[in-house]
Structure 1
Amino acid sequence: MAKTAFHIPLAYQNRMFGYYLGQIEQQRRLLQHVRQSLPENLAKHVCHCLASNNTLLVYTDSAIWASQLRFYNQTLLAAMVSAAAPPSPAVQKVNIKVMTETTGATSQQGGKKPHVNIPSADTIDLMQKQSASISDPTLQQALQRLNATLKKRAERS
């Protein structure tokens, strides 16, 4: 039986493959530079970075860290100006995005409704009675609207 040779895909002269490898390397360097400009506890939650047009896209692993990273927008912009990578001087704004851990996709519900905990009927009735004793009319009206919404949702489920 004759052995067949298996050629590694990288051995072929393919311009598109080389282009993608270059893009991956550029994003890796950008990620490294962004992580160096942040405090260590925040840097480890930055998953990916991408410079697109005049925007630096920073992907993180949770909404909590995304809210913390938003405080560092100016720091990230300053880091991009001082970076030696070609796309960095054009960066004028930072966009923070959250990625889900399982799929790597950005967090959007995709048609699914989030799970909502609806209080029991007794709790809703108690809230309705308590809202009648509130002296502030704006707060009382808001609580009554909340109770009406909770009753409708409780009836549907």
Structure 2
Amino acid sequence: MAGLPPAIVQVLNQDALAPLLAKARWNEKLLARVRQVLPEPLGAHCLYCLPRHGGRLVLYADNAAWAARLRFYQTEVKAALQELLGPIAAVHVRILLPQGKVEKPPPRIKTPPPEVLDGLERAANAFEDPELKRCVQRLARALRRA
């Protein structure tokens, strides 16, 4: 079985990846501690907790509404993590934008009622300028098709 790739556990335990894995586990521990001090619905919307240089802590929420609520709990978060991280100078809350392509619904076209379209066609026929007349007639036809 010499041709088989190494097991994922062996790869993760290699010397080069061990510090990264330890840091990821540490960040998970910090996040778990943060979620303990947050109220129930808010904790699930706090996605990441990352310590930064200079005593800064960055919390990531999944949208602006939850980020705003999370900002009200900065004092509690600081107190909860002080024993693990030492003095925390500032807590920053950021929004983690969705990854990948976000599909937007197609724009809804609001078509005018038939009476308005009839009036638009009458107005187009009243124009003396042939180019302007043609443009307004084309607009009326396009709105009828929409």
> Which range, TM-score by smaller chain?
0.5 to 0.7
Q: How does 1:2-81 map to 2 (within 5 A)?
A: 4-11=3-10, 14-53=14-53, 54-81=55-82
SS of corresponding position for 1:49: strand
Q: CA deviation at 1:39?
A: 0.7
Q: Deviations over 1:35-74 (max 9, x none)?
A: 0011111111001111112111100000111111111111
Any stretches of 5+ residues in structure 2 without a counterpart?
101-146
* One-letter identity of the residue aligned with 1:97: R
Q: CA deviation at 1:10?
A: 3.6
Count of residue pairs brought into register by the alignment: 98
Q: CA deviation at 1:102?
A: 2.6
Using the aligned pairs only, state the percent identity: 27
In structure 1, distance between residues paired with 2:32 and 2:98: 20
Q: Which runs of 4+ in 1 moved over 6 A?
A: none
Any stretches of 5+ residues in structure 1 without a counterpart?
104-157
**1:97 matches 2:71:** no
Q: Normalising by structure 1, report the TM-score.
A: 0.57
Q: CA deviation at 1:9?
A: 4.8
CA contact (8 A) 1:60 1:98 kept: yes
In structure 2, distance between residues paired with 1:63 and 1:100: 10
Larger gyration radius, structure 1 or structure 2: 2
In structure 2, distance between residues paired with 1:21 and 1:3: 27
